[in-house]
Amino acid sequence: MPTGEAATDIQPHSGASSVSYVGATKRYGDSELAAVDDLTLEVPAGEICVLVGPSGCGKTTAMRMVNRTVEMSAGDILVGGESVRSKDAAQLRREIGYVIQQIGLFPHRTITENIGTVPQLLGWKRDRIRARSAELLALVGLDPDLGDRYPAQLSGGQQQRVGVARALVADPLVMLMDEPFGAIDPINRERLQNEFLRLQAQVRKTVLFVTHDIDEAIKMGDRIAVMREGGRVEQYATPAELLMAPANEFVEDFVGADRALKRLALMRVSDIDLWEAPLATVGQPTAELRAKLDAPDVEVPYPLLVDDQRRPLGWLSERDLAAPTVPERPDSPLGPVLDRDDVMRDALADMLQGGAQYAAVTDAGGAVVGVLSVEIISEFLVSSAAKVDEHPAVERPLGAEGSDD
Ligand SMILES: Nc1ncnc2c1ncn2[C@@H]1O[C@H](COP(=O)(O)OP(=O)(O)O)[C@@H](O)[C@H]1O
Ligand SMILES: [Mg+2]
């Protein structure tokens, strides 16, 4: 700990707190209807909980009651088991990171000064603020040299990253994020989402994340609370549960008709039982392969040519098989090759784009581990008993890094 500084109440916590809503209620003014009515919800420490629902259903109100920028009318919210009512509101706001869509950077302060707003209030020295700011800029994927610029000199996406850095400055136990990427164009939004998930894998904060976009909810959430007017939670579940077993018609409508396809975004290729193709090597007698293809339990009716390390080279055609031995150059191109860790949705897209019925699946070393077919995927989509492995959001695959799809 640096010496010569006032002992602050904001030392790194290196941790996260659970958040428990206990019958939390908010009425604005003397309104008959509560904006949030008797909300009870348990958010485990270190998870991303997404509040999703139509505009006006009470998401922002529910979130802001946590840091008491909106005061509850009844009920309670516990952060790490302690009532937010029992804490000094100003201190609470310093302990809880807050990221909003409008970013809210001060235009006449540099990026470093913006990030250092709370530490400055706490009497941190300039050097310490600079160091922490540079560290956080790097953490959110920005060049620390941007610290001397002003907000207007940054793009919207860069400003939003600064907003995230600022929320993390005092190592909060809880982060509140209200439609944080809502004003960013789709390509940059996807990048910011991916970056935030990578960041979360490192910092493991408890995050309350508000969005009205179900796709964003499915991507970002470890758990999702689907809300309707009055802050009523219609279902609180993991993304996979929500997609496979919507609790009622409201949730089903909200999740959308394409929920089967959305499920594919939660799976890796290795989550499904792959098929086997007869493997062929150069110079092998084709009679052996024809015998395998005639077997009653053959799954893929084309032999896959592999090298001596089982790396796929191409598919053998009827013509290849008419020759006595397997040729060096197969008749049919290899087509898409999938990694067993690929997201199933991306794998299907690759196959459809390549016009391929079958695709070789390889391990990290490039060796064939099986074959994926469009048929396997469609069988999976219609099977209600389909197994979906649950991955926390931060461990869920996100598609190729740096891809801008
Ligand atoms: N400051 C306020 N004063 C009065 N009514 C408000 C205020 N803020 C929100 N409301 C009302 O509370 C309800 C929930 O709003 P909000 O929490 O902003 O929903 P969401 O974030 O889901 O769009 C809405 O009916 C909204 O009009
Ligand atoms: Mg809102």
**pLDDT tens track for 346-368:** 888 888 888 888 999 999 999 99
Q: Would 403 be classed as within a structural domain?
A: no
Q: What is the domain extent for residue 38?
A: 19-257
Alpha-carbon span 219 to 181, nearest angstrom: 13
- Identify which of 118, 170, 161, 125 has the alpha carbon closest to the alpha carbon of residue 147: 161
Domain count, the chain: 2
Query: Is 319 found in the same domain as 245?
Result: no
Specify the DSSP class assigned to residue 372.
E
- Distance (angstroms) between ligand 1 centre and the Cα of 372 equals 48
- Number of the ligand 1 atom closest to the C-alpha atom of 227: 22
How far does the centroid of ligand 1 lie from the alpha carbon of residue 266, in Å?
A: 32
- Structure confidence by residue, pLDDT tens digits, 132-179: 999 999 988 899 999 999 999 999 889 989 998 998 888 898 999 999
User: Are residues 285 and 170 part of one domain?
Assistant: no
Q: pLDDT tens digits, residue range 377-393?
A: 888 776 654 444 455 55
Residue 53: pLDDT above 60? yes
Look-up of token digits 């098989």: 321
Say yes or no: 216 and 86 in one domain.
Answer: yes
Tell me: do 133 and 236 sit in the same domain.
yes
- Which of 322, 317, 309, 352 lies closest to 334, judged by CA? 317
The pLDDT score that the predictor gives to residue 319 is 92
Distance (Å) from CA 212 to ligand 2 centroid: 8
The residue whose CA is least distant from atom 6 of ligand 1 is 28
Q: Which of 200, 231, 257 is the last residue of a domain?
A: 257
Amino acid making up residue 260 = A
> 279 and 228 in one domain?
no
Range scoring the smallest mean pLDDT among 173-187, 255-269, 303-317, 361-375: 255-269
Boundary of a domain, candidates 257, 278, 307: 257
- Confirm whether 310 is domain-assigned: yes
Q: Which residues lie with the beta carbon below 6 Å from any ligand 1 atom?
A: 28, 35, 55-61
What integer pLDDT is reported at residue 394 of this predicted model? 59
Residue 401 has pLDDT above 70, yes or no: no
Whole-number pLDDT of residue 179: 93
CATH number at residue 386: 3.10.580.10
**Mean pLDDT to the nearest integer, 102-110:** 86
* 8 is a domain residue: no
Same domain, 310 and 362: yes
Q: What CATH number is attached to the domain comprising 223?
A: 3.40.50.300
Of 294, 280, 275, 371, the residue nearest 328 (C-alpha): 280
Give the confidence band of 396 by pLDDT, cuts at 50, 70, 90. Answer: low
Nearest CA to ligand 1 atom 27: 56
The strands making up 312-315's β-sheet, listed across from edge to edge, are 279-280, 304-306, 312-315
- 3 occurs within a structural domain: no
Domain termination site, one of 232, 257, 282: 257
Global confidence as pTM: 0.72
